[in-house]
Amino acid sequence: MTTYCIYDAEGRIVQSNKVFDPPANYETKIRDFKQNFIKLDQPHLVPAEKFYVANNGLVRMPRMRIAVSKRRIKAGGRDTVVVTGCPINADYAVDHSLPGIGAVTPYSGKLPDGELEIGMDIPCLFTIRVERFPFRAFSVQIEAVE
């Protein structure tokens, strides 16, 4: 059994395929589509959220060394949670769900200094997500209470 990992120019795995008795022209087809790939002799798929490809081999994604000041804040905007240790220029998004409206992403952007401080005006559960390749994605749920 062979596993093929197709990856983009940065090394992100975009597809992992487990192939049983691959036809002789399987690799030719991948090359015809101009895809970067590595071939592994293993019986399982490769989780793209935990690995990437570098130097024609699999590399485990490191975890971000992120610290969160607290998991519960007082709603109203004066109390905040501080997230530190994010990679410079990491992407962030803050999501929360509002009754009758659904999921909302009121804040998102880049973290030029690797830190985020945020408060919430209304009581809710919200999720802070941080992403920066080649690190594993990070998320934490914070509760804003009355």
**pLDDT at 71 (0 to 100):** 97
Local structure of residue 64 (DSSP, 8 states): P
Element (DSSP H or E) covering residue 31: helix 26-32
Backbone angles phi, psi at 10, to 5 degrees: -90, -10
**pLDDT at 22 (0 to 100):** 67
**pLDDT at 19 (0 to 100):** 86
Residue whose entry in the numeric block shows the structure tokens 């410079």? 88
Backbone angles phi, psi at 49, to 5 degrees: -80, -5
User: In whole angstroms, what is the distance from residue 19 CA to residue 23 CA?
Assistant: 9
Task: Dump pLDDT digits (tens) for 13-22.
Answer: 999 998 887 6
Pairing of strands 72-74, 138-145: parallel
Q: Coil, helix or strand for 29? A: helix
As given in the structure block, the two tokens for residue 51 are 């690995």
Domains and CATH numbers, the chain: 2-60 (no CATH), 67-145 (2.60.40.180)
Low-confidence ranges of the chain (pLDDT < 50): none
Closest CA to 138 of 105, 92, 71, 107: 92
